Structure 1
Amino acid sequence: MTILETRVYRGANIWSYEQAIHLVVDLGRLEEHPTNTLPGFTEHLLEMLPGLQNHSCSRGRRGGFVERLNEGTWLGHVAEHCALALQQVVGHDIRRGKTRMVKGRKGVYNIIYGYADEQVGLAAGRLAVRLVNHLVQADPEFDWDAELESFILRAERTAFGPSTQAILDEAVSRDIPWIRLNQYSLVQLGQGVHAKRIRATMTSATSAIAVDVASDKDLTTRLLGAAGLPVPKQESVRSVEGAVAAAKRVGFPVVVKPLDGNHGRGVCLDLRDEEAVREAYDIAKEQSRRGTVIVESFVTGKDYRCLIVDGRMVAIAERVPAHVVGDGTSTVEQLVELTNADPRRGVGHEKVLTRIKVDAAAKEVLAGQGHTLESVPENGEMVKLALTGNMSTGGISIDRTFDAHPENVDIAEEAARMVGLDIAGIDFICPDITEPVRETGGAICEVNAAPGFRMHTHPTIGEPQFIAKPVVDMLFPPGAPARIPIVAVTGTNGKTTTSRMIAHIFKGMGRKVGMTSTDGVVIDERLLIRADASGPRSAKMVLQNPRVDFAVFEVARGGILREGLGYERNDVAVVLNVQPDHLGLRGIDTVEQLADVKAVLVEAVPRDGHAVLNADDPLVREMRRRCSGQVVWFSMEEPGSEVREMIEGHCRRGGKALVLNPSDRGEMIVVKHGRREMQLAWTHLLPATFSGRARMNVQNALAAAAAAFAAGAPLHDIRQGLRTFSTNYYLAPGRLNEVDVNGVNVIVDYCHNAPGMRMLGDFVDRVGESLSHDLARPSRIGVIATAGDRRDEDMRELGEIASRHFDVVIVREDQNLRGRKAGEVAGLVVEGVKAGMADGGRCKQVEEVLDEIKAVRHAMARANVGDLVVFCVDKHPAVMTELENWSQQAYAGAAANPSAPAADPDYVPAEPAST
């Protein structure tokens, strides 16, 4: 089995409502060998991954997948389940998956399965394929135990720690979205202006000064002592002799620890003589970032961790150092192995407990108790392997949340307030937490920033405490919003203009709009990135911006197929149209398949959301069946048509729609909600419609108004937005930009496919009929092109349609030929133009000028005053610059020679007669 292709979907996609990994695998000869024909395969597989016995598969019951294995299933399906089982081994409860054959390719399969962590999911897929291949034909270099251990360690490195995961689980339960910002524990909760950040158990509300204070143990002790809180005596030193002197002043026994260490590293306890202090000093200094060591009095008692969140105690755990209990027959080494065999213990933070590691420090602790690894402790004897009770060194925890004396709780809460931490771990050493520490002689030995949650969420003994709840309550109080509204727009044509219209409407309402489109990423009308930004990564960039309180995403077919949506859901999905474009790419060969891709937006609408659908497009109309929320129709059909009758029935049932009502005064955009009708605006008064002649923008305005209405915008704000939006270069660059160049009417547009050319041609006909000139009938000149990744027939169709609307067609090529040879694309378009001319098209002349700027110059040189020139552009900034230069040069030439014909840029003055 070979992996041919790997994709990671970071949001809803054509295969799943949630994020997923997609492998395209070739079974090769294994296509002829299902599992029931491979002797011993199923037994060995279940032995290596026993968790597969719990998989239900399509049977819907435990053991269903094993039944499929025994009956015979294909190995691509087996690899899918192995990838899921491997993720379950490392604690990721992922159960979503499917395997389908690639149409028309025997033995090639699509394997799709969910993931929690992208890197872990990819590694699981690769290891699953290797495992299946190994079971079919043994690979002597494949060591399953080593591979599994390596996979677990990799998952440990990339997965969230238990503290971060606990907060994320609580956030997800409240429908709070999150975004991972780096490969470690930096996470954003919420979107845009509502976003909060956490890093482990530090939050965006955690004071940096408080963290610095907590890191300085000497300063912390002095602050707590000044507040009258019980703390041990201590001194900070920077030399061995200073440590010995301080120990004498404090009084033996003492503790030596680093000033700014963590996780108990470098802490040496119960030091009873000068020699022990000397040895401990070097250990502590090695873990001190600033080279300062603390010597403090040793407080005897049990080790308790009090967790304070937002000034309130939420959990208390008694920490017991890593240890074994003798049975009178086993050695210490055997007891450690037996303890580590506990299924709750794993590598690092992989499981609720950490395996005990027998290193030099552990052997030293054993020696201090008179033991070695070969010693046989007496029955019931507790043998420590660490001095501190940290979970990361193999310790255990006992929940004491409801046992603490109220006075001790008050002390812990006061300590957190004194340091200034919103989340703090207060370490108590005292004989018994149920008794007041001021009476029993206990003390606060440390205040920790970013305390771990594992000892509280997964105590070894006692009830788990749901401490993530108060953390999320602090960041997002009940009723506080976490999401910003998201409007997503897709379709074959009109996406960018519609997105800009929607953004313009909400900008006029005072919202800070983040928008993605093929032009770039725009935040509050500022262009941050100039690129094709209609994919999922650009959407995530907007959701991370702390200024954005409303998002408008243009979503293209390519981004959905490549990475999915990149976000969880959209409140409003707008589908403008589905036309045959980009067919033959990434397995999308028919317009029906293209509709399935664009329908992903509709499937991502929640129950309280809306899908704004074009009722005039049959493929878009069918998408209503995929919408969990409400459908808002828009239509340009006249009253009495079949589509309008369908809309009327929809509205009688309480639905919403935007339609056109014709009258003697023009067309009125009407909002229908239930049985109510509300007039919105005359289409001919909207600047973007060119007095109603740009029918594509009439449709875009309907869609934009419907989306804004669905998103809760008042009608007067929608009306004002549409009335102030125009297709000038600043509001909609490259979208029907109208320029007057020395009396020549110039239109600059991004049209690049046959359906778009059909709509542009209709606009050219309507505008051309209104043009007139005293000398002659104005000509229509079109400069056209298409992308190289279209099908040959699509390129010919573009040229054929253009031939019906232009007198002269100049064919150019894009700078990026997308795999085609120079002149190949233009040649196919010219073929289409000539076919249209032969079929009675308007065009009388077709020319090839491959370079875009040269084509602009050539077209303008041909144009006369009153002519209409349409440029279908690739690099619209360069074209607009060239038109500006052309206008200035012609103006300068006219000023220098007033007798030159104003409309003939090719005019060359006659040479002076020779003398």
Structure 2
Amino acid sequence: MTSEPGTTGPSPRPDLRILSSRVYRGPNVWHYEPAIQLVVDLGVLEDLPTNLLPGFADGLVERLPGLASHSCSRGRRGGFVERLHEGTWVGHVAEHVALQLQQAVGHDMRRGKTRQVRGERGRYNVIYAYADENVGVAAGELAVQLVNDLVQHDPEFDFEAELERFIVRGERTAFGPSTQAIVDEAVSRDIPWLRLNTSSLVQLGQGVHQQRIRATMTSKTSSIAVDIAGNKELTLTLLGSAGLPVPRSESVRTVEEAVRLAERTGYPVVLKPLDGNHGRGVMLDLQDADDVRRAFGTAKEESRGGWVIVESFITGRDYRCLVIGGKIAAIAERVPAHVVGDGSATVAELVERTNADPRRGVGHEKVLTRIKVDQAAVELVAEQGFALDDVPPEGTAVKLTLTGNMSTGGISIDRTFEAHPENIEIAEEAARVVGLDLAGIDFIAPDITQPVRETGGAICEVNAAPGFRMHTHPTVGDPQYVAKPVVDMLFPPGTPSRIPIVAVTGTNGKTTTSRMIAHIFKGIGKKVGMTSTDGVVVDERLIIRADASGPRSAKMVLQNPRVDFAVFEVARGGILREGLGYERNDVGVVLNVQPDHLGLRGIDTVEQLADVKAVVVEAVPRSGFAVLNADDPLVRAMRRRCSGRVVWFTMAEPGSEIRESVDDHCRRGGRAVVLEHSDLGDMIVVKEGRRAMQLAWTHLLPSTFGGRATMNVQNAMAAAAAAFAAGASLHDIRQGLRSFSTNYYLSPGRLNEVPVEGRTVIVDYCHNAPGMTMLGDFVDKTGDQLASTSDLGNVQRIGVISTAGDRRDEDMRELGAIAARHFDVVVVREDAQLRGRVRGEVAGLVAEGVRREMEAGARCRQLETVLDEIEATRHAIARSNPGDLIVICVDQHAVVMAELESYGRQAQPGARSDGEPASGVARVGDPDFSPAAAPTEPEGGPSRP
């Protein structure tokens, strides 16, 4: 309840605080694009909207005038200010302030929303866009500080000082003008990009199509050419040998050598470091030996190798010709840093006034650089007859540097369309001679509109990695879009920049389906990069062994230069933590949405979980496909959130409501994968429009165990639908599914069958109740088949089960209850990582569910608890007989498989000669058994026998 104006209510206090912050680096539950989420607590301000905070609205707009242009929900300029005066909550204000602060550093961010945290009064999710995540987070923090200061002023908070620090931080983390120009051009062409470091190293494109830039050096830039350009003497020698106009030059190491060479060359001369850059150490127009001696130290100080070039001085204007891909892209005249007298201000005041231009910054952070008044500048001003405190006459230009480099405070004038064709030809030839794909050719010439061979001009330098800002942001003249030919060179028209991406999500079956899809395209000849809960696989090589179903692993695949096809397993946790980590997926697959991981990260219902999974569907572009399970109502509803086309897969019987809907979808030209039943078995059929194409008998696919593994029938249908949508032919899909099996090498930890001394052992990753239901169906069918072929006619079914400690208590009990319906003996173990539980707690809860179902008459007749995974595996083997079926639901599948493979090579561990189970086992029916009495081994498990 909020207080009305004039009524008694709570006193304003600066209570707004950030409880948590999260950076989403791709499509996420809040938006299609990257965003920052702040969870804020308003405290007493929940009862005090902005219209009840005296002076708040006016003070905020005074501090940040740009807020006056925010439209907010009104859809018109000034809408947000109207909301401020009418009354809105300070969490919403923080959102707009964070966006406006980013505007102050040149990040044009406009997207944001504020929503109350479900069921928590006074707490809000503040969501806003960002360009640089560090700047975005800092903007949110400063926004909260500003709001609190406006509610109640803090004498120690200086907003202007904080804002300046924020702006400096933003400018220093931002791309330079050259890099930003290329990235902007790539974005305009829908070319994806990744920043590879905190500086200017950027990847354009994905996988095998990627190109890299670092400022204006590219993947195509020759290292030899860069070395040549870095050696000014060698550069001029090569250019002179090619018949291009260059000044006379030679390098020396000592000042006396420089004087002798200058006298031989003829005054005036230039001294410059052999391997310098940005005009540092270049000393011009030296008239005599004394000038050379004074200038030598400055030039040598900037030379990494200690060599200094003595060069004949060419008089004229300074021109930079930018050559990209062998063609002139832009020409700029560079004017050295200077000030122009007005008859009243001193030189120092004129410099200060010039540096106050908002376009000027430190180094390359802005389009112009601040003029630096150093000793060399003071001496140059003195040579022109002035001191810094003198007032030059009106209209008098006072130079502060001799070189026209932008990095020393110079300005640029665009001359692109004024250059003489012969000069353009010379510049292009110079770039070819040196071998640079991007080159800055520095001309000294009286007039670029006249041939330099006639006017006496010359090329004085060739630069690798030339800056773009003098061309993209000239002080005088029109900007030139020089990034366009760079991107044209890296990605010629028609050249792909993206690799196909198939993303697979769902509660169960993600890993197996992802592996099936990857296997199909591997058979086609693709270099497939795949992420899953087992790790990152590139071209069937495991390069990272970890849970790699999150966004960072996806980026790892997209950065790999061998990958030309990507398959990503997308888990709920990664989406909630960072978003997808990539921009979009060509095919998005949703297998099912079932109650698992509820109660974590604010996801309490299966409907909320479906909203998280739907992010994969929302990331499908108009040209892409969403492969959806028509048999799952929550998945079926996701069709409304897809911008592309939908491909259904269903196991529904012909004539059912779901099947009729899918068939109708196909009659309208859509696609689907369905199951057709016959006396010979079940056939997977691909439908497109009115065509129906038989793909494969389910019982002939190795992964389905003769059709008994219903979950893998469904996974194979989803994989077929995804592969068909991604462009694979029916023949390739059929061949891929027929050659994919659940052996340990193709599908580790997923329905692996291992014969162990006459027993059938199945290793699977089943860890939740819905998965146990599917696994139980497989156990029933497999157990019945084994019983029909057994001499004894009786097959014992033993299950080793567990779940992760971050599940809800009721989910753990349900897992145990379902297992009790399918197994004769249930052995409950625990994972190595307890995820916040104490040792024995998870096993106790699972055992509760088993006991409850046993009391209700379930199949299970014996419940045993062995907490350590390997000990539980050994116990299951020890208490079984040849011919029995053992299913081990694993946590660390590699360790369990190694243990199983050891049988037959050594004595059976843990077995007793009387056939009784190994020690350390608690049984239902034992007088001392209870969850609390379960074995309490240390975290690493008991010692080995």
**C-alpha separation between the residues in 2 aligned to 1:687 and 1:447?**
64
Matched, 1:431 2:482: no
Percentage identity across paired residues of the two chains? 77
Q: Which residue of 1 aligns with 2:566?
A: 551
Provide the rounded CA distance (Å) in 2 between the counterparts of 1:843 and 1:752: 19
CA deviations over 1:25-55 (Å, ceiling 9, x no partner): 1222222222222222222222222221111
Give the C-alpha shift of residue 888 in structure 1.
2.0
Q: Spell out, residue by residue over 1:48-98, the C-alpha distance to the aligned partner (whole angstroms, 9 max, x if none).
A: 222211111111111111111121221111111111111111111111111
Amino acid at match of 1:388: T
Alignment of 1:295-306 (within 5 A): 295-306=310-321
For residues 244 and 87 of structure 2, the distance between their equivalents in structure 1, rounded to whole angstroms, comes to 70
Cα distance in structure 2, aligned partners of 1:506 and 1:295: 62
C-alpha distance in structure 2 between counterparts of 1:580 and 1:678, whole Å: 35
Q: Indicate the larger mover: 677-686 or 385-394.
A: 385-394
Aligned with 1:629 (options 638, 644, 650): 644
> 2:875, 2:918 within 8 Å by CA — same for their partners in 1?
no
- Which amino acid is 1:744 matched to? R
Correspondence for 2:927? none
Where does residue 89 of structure 1 map in the other structure? 104
Instruction: Kindly report which structure 2 residues correspond to 1:585-596, keeping only aligned pairs within 5 A, or say none.
Output: 585-596=600-611
**1:126 maps to amino acid:** E
**Do residues 265 (structure 1) and 283 (structure 2) align?**
no
Give the letter aligned to residue 274 of structure 2.
L
How far off is 1:219 after superposition?
0.6
Q: Give the residue type in structure 1 aligned to 2:235.
A: T
Moved more, 398-407 or 151-160: 151-160
Aligned counterparts of 1:3 and 1:440: Cα–Cα separation in 2: 67
1:54 is aligned to 2:54? no
Q: How does 1:656-667 map to 2 (within 5 A)?
A: 656-667=671-682
After TM superposition, list the pairs within 5 Å mapping 1:63-78 onto structure 2. 63-78=78-93
What's the CA shift for 1:398?
A: 0.7
- 2:821 is equivalent to residue 815 of structure 1: no
SS of alignment partner, residue 819 of structure 1: coil
Partner amino acid, structure 2, of 1:552: V
Contact 1:156 1:348 in 2 (8 A): no
Q: Secondary structure at the match of 2:904?
A: helix
Moved more, 35-44 or 701-710: 35-44
Aligned residue number for residue 509 of structure 2: 494
- 5 Å-filtered alignment, 1:133-172, equals 133-172=148-187
Secondary structure of 1:886 counterpart: coil
The 10-residue stretch of structure 1 (235-244 or 200-209) with the greater mean CA deviation from structure 2? 235-244
Residues 326-405 of structure 1: pairs in structure 2 closer than 5 A? 326-405=341-420
Q: Matches of residues 350-749 of structure 1 in structure 2 within 5 Å?
A: 350-749=365-764
Which of 840, 847, 860 lines up with 2:864 in the alignment?
Answer: 847
Farther off after superposition, 256-265 or 422-431: 256-265
1:864 corresponds to which letter in structure 2? Answer: N
Matched, 1:117 2:132: yes
Hey, what does 2:886 align to over in structure 1? 869
Q: Which of 3, 22, 25 pairs up with 2:37?
A: 22
Moved more, 689-698 or 22-31: 22-31
Q: Higher mean Cα deviation, 678-687 or 77-86?
A: 77-86
User: What runs of 5+ residues in structure 2 fail to find an aligned partner?
Assistant: 1-15, 920-945
What per-residue deviation string (whole Å, max 9, x for no partner) do you get for residues 359-403 of structure 1?
333323222212222211111111112221122222111110010
8 Å CA contact retained: 1:485, 1:549: yes
The Cα of 1:347 is off from its aligned counterpart by 4.0
Q: Distance in 2 between matches of 1:254 and 1:818?
A: 74
Q: Which of 201, 206, 225 is the matching residue for 2:216?
A: 201
Measure the CA separation in 2 of the matches of 1:878 and 1:446: 64
Please point out which of 774, 778, 792 is paired with 1:775: 792
What is the deviation of 1:893?
13
Distance in 2 between the 1:87 and 1:363 partners? Answer: 38
- Listed one character per residue, the Cα deviations across residues 689-714 of structure 1 (whole Å, up to 9, x for unaligned) are 01000000000000000000000000
Alignment RMSD: 1.7
Question: CA offset at residue 906 of structure 1?
Answer: 7.9
For 2:811, give the aligned amino acid: D
- 1:105 paired residue number: 120
Flag structure 1 segments of 5+ consecutive residues without an equivalent: 908-915
In 2, the alpha carbon distance for the partners of 1:216 and 1:375 equals 41
User: For residues 436-477 of structure 1, what are the alpha-carbon distances to aligned partners after superposition, in whole Å with 9 as ceiling and x for unaligned?
Assistant: 111111111110000000111111111111111111111000
Deviation at 1:598, TM superposition (A): 0.4
SS at match of 1:88: helix
Tell me, yes or no, if the aligned pair for 1:536 and 1:564 is still in contact at 8 Å: yes
2:900 aligned counterpart, secondary structure: helix
- Quick check: 2:25–2:581 contact (8 Å CA) kept in 1? yes
- Paired letter, 2:896: V
Counterpart in the other structure of 2:9: none
Matches within 5 A, 1:755-766: 755-766=770-781
Alignment partners' CA distance in 2, 1:112 and 1:357: 41
Q: Between 581-590 and 365-374, report the one with greater CA deviation.
A: 365-374
**Contact residue 216 and residue 259 of structure 1 kept, 8 A:** yes
Aligned mates of 1:729, 1:557 — CA distance in 2: 25
Could you tell me which residue of structure 2 aligns to residue 911 of structure 1? none
What CA distance in whole angstroms lies between the structure 1 residues aligned with 2:726 and 2:769?
A: 32
* DSSP-derived class of the 1:771 partner: helix
Is 1:132 aligned to 2:147, yes or no?
yes
TM-score w.r.t. length of structure 1: 0.97
- TM superposition shift of 1:887: 3.0
CA distance in 1, matches of 2:296, 2:488: 43
Give aligned pairs, total: 902
Shift of 1:210: 0.3
Q: What is the Cα deviation at residue 269 of structure 1?
A: 1.2
Question: C-alpha offsets along residues 229-248 of structure 1, whole Å, 9 cap, x if unaligned?
Answer: 11111121111222222221
Q: CA deviation at 1:12?
A: 0.3
For structure 1, which segment, 50-59 or 207-216, has the greater mean C-alpha deviation from structure 2 after superposition? 50-59
The answer to whether structure 1 residue 805 and structure 2 residue 822 are counterparts is yes
Please say if residues 302 and 318 of structure 1, whose CA atoms lie closer than 8 Å, have aligned partners that are also in contact: yes
What residue in structure 1 maps to residue 905 of structure 2?
A: 888
Write the distance in 1 (CA, Å) between the matches of 2:103 and 2:893.
51
Letter aligned with residue 561 of structure 1: L
Letter in 1 for 2:904: S
Q: What is the DSSP-based 3-state SS (H/G/I as helix, E as strand, rest coil) of the residue aligned with 1:888?
A: coil
Shift of the alpha carbon at 1:286? 1.5
Preserved CA contact (<8 Å) 2:910 2:918: no
Runs (4+) off by over 4 Å: 890-894, 903-907
